[in-house]
Amino acid sequence: AQSVTQPDIHITVSEGASLELRCNYSYGATPYLFWYVQSPGQGLQLLLKYFSGDTLVQGIKGFEAEFKRSQSSFNLRKPSVHWSDAAEYFCAVLTTNYGGSQGNLIFGKGTKLSVKP
Amino acid sequence: ETGVTQTPRHLVMGMTNKKSLKCEQHLGHNAMYWYKQSAKKPLELMFVYNFKEQTENNSVPSRFSPECPNSSHLFLHLHTLQPEDSALYLCASGRDTSYEQYFGPGTRLTVT
C-alpha cells in the first residue's frame, strides 16, 4: 500500500542553522512528490514538487528537496533557517490508479519545526 | 494566497444545527477536495470532485454532504454533527486529480 513516513514528529533548530526534514515513501510506480508547509490555524502551502527530471528541486522560501529513488526518500533542506520557518511540514505522494485518470495525495503525519533564537 | 478561499473561517454549532461550509477557487482548476484535519490524526481525505463529478467518498458519515455546483465552488453541508467532528476542514483544488493541490485557509469547526 502507498504510504509516506516522516520519522521526526518534532524538530528544534537554532536560527541560522541548517535544516533537513526526512520523508520516506512507499509507492510502486514513479512517484510524484510534494512538500507542504502549514502555519498554525492556516491551510497548507505548496513548497515544492517533484514530477520527473532533475532530482534536486528548488522551492519557495529557500527550500530544496532531493529525490533519491534508491532510498525511497524525498528529504527537505534549507541551508539557514529563519524564525518565520517555524511551522508544520508535510510530505506527500500523489498516487494514481491504473491509467492515471484518478489521483489522490497521501500525506505523512507531519514534522513540527521549532526555531530557537 | 487567495487562489482558494473558504468561508466561514470559524464556526461554532450545536449538534442539532445545520450549517454549510463554502469553498471557492479562482485558479481555473477542475478538481476540488474536502479534507478533515484533527489534532491527533493526519490529514483525512473526505471527498473528491473532478469536473463536477464526485469521484471519491472516503467512507464519510452521511451527516456530511458535499455539493459541487460548478468547478469553482464546493460546499460541505453539515447536520446533526457530533463533538468528535470538531476539526479544521480544508478545501483544496487542482488542475485535475493528477496534479498538485492548492489549499484554502480552512474552516475551524467546533461542535458543542
Q: Which residues of A are less than 8 Å from B53 in CB distance?
A: none
Q: What's the rounded Cα separation, in Å, for the pair A36 and B28?
A: 21
pLDDT at residue A98 in the model? 52
* Cell numbers describing residue B83: 463533538
pLDDT at residue A95 in the model? 82
Q: What's the rounded Cα separation, in Å, for the pair A41 and B106?
A: 8
Confidence label for A102 from pLDDT (cuts 50, 70 and 90): low
Q: What's the rounded Cα separation, in Å, for the pair B9 and B38?
A: 16
> Cβ B50–A34 below 8 Å, yes or no?
no
Instruction: State the average pLDDT over residues A92-114.
Output: 81
Q: Any idea which of A28-32, A33-37, A90-94, B60-64 has the lowest mean pLDDT?
A: A28-32
- Residue A39 near residue A87, CB atoms below 8 Å: yes
Per-residue pLDDT tens over the stretch A56-82 = 999 999 999 999 999 999 999 999 999
Instruction: State the average pLDDT over residues A30-52.
Output: 92
- Calculate the dihedral angle through the C-alpha atoms of A49, B47, B52, A101, rounding to the nearest 10 degrees: 50
Q: Is the pLDDT of residue A109 over 80?
A: yes
> Cβ A43–B97 below 8 Å, yes or no?
no
pLDDT at residue A116 in the model? 96
Share of chain A above pLDDT 70, in %: 95
Give the chain A residue whose CA is nearest to the CA of B32: A104
> Cβ A43–B50 below 8 Å, yes or no?
no
**Residue B85, SS3?**
helix
DSSP assignment string, A43-105: -EEEEEEE-SS-SEEE-GGG-EEEEEGGGTEEEEEESS--GGG-EEEEEEEEEE-TTS--EEE
**Residue B109, SS3?**
strand
Identify which of B4, B45, B108 has the shortest CB distance to residue A104: B45
CB of B59 within 8 Å of a chain A CB? The answer is no
Q: Is the pLDDT of residue A18 over 90?
A: yes
Residues of chain B with pLDDT under 50: none
pLDDT at residue B18 in the model? 94
Confidence label for A2 from pLDDT (cuts 50, 70 and 90): confident
Residue type, B105: P
DSSP assignment string, B9-74: SEEEE-TT-EEEEEEEE-S--SEEEEEEE-TTS--EEEEEEETTEEEEE-S--TTEEEEEEETTEE
pLDDT at residue A74 in the model? 97
Give the chain B residue whose CA is nearest to the CA of A38: B105
Q: To probe the interface with B, which of A3, A42, A57 has the most B CB atoms within 10 Å?
A: A42
pLDDT at residue B58 in the model? 77
Q: What's the rounded Cα separation, in Å, for the pair A115 and A81?
A: 8
- Residue B102 near residue B3, CB atoms below 8 Å: yes
> Cβ B50–A96 below 8 Å, yes or no?
no
Confidence label for A13 from pLDDT (cuts 50, 70 and 90): very high
* Cell numbers describing residue A101: 485518470
Give the chain B residue whose CA is nearest to the CA of A35: B100
Question: Chain-centre distance of CA B44, in angstroms?
Answer: 11
pLDDT at residue A52 in the model? 86
Share of chain A above pLDDT 90, in %: 75
Residue B63 Cα, gap to closest chain A Cα (Å): 23
Confidence label for A101 from pLDDT (cuts 50, 70 and 90): low
Per-residue pLDDT tens over the stretch A89-99 = 999 998 876 55
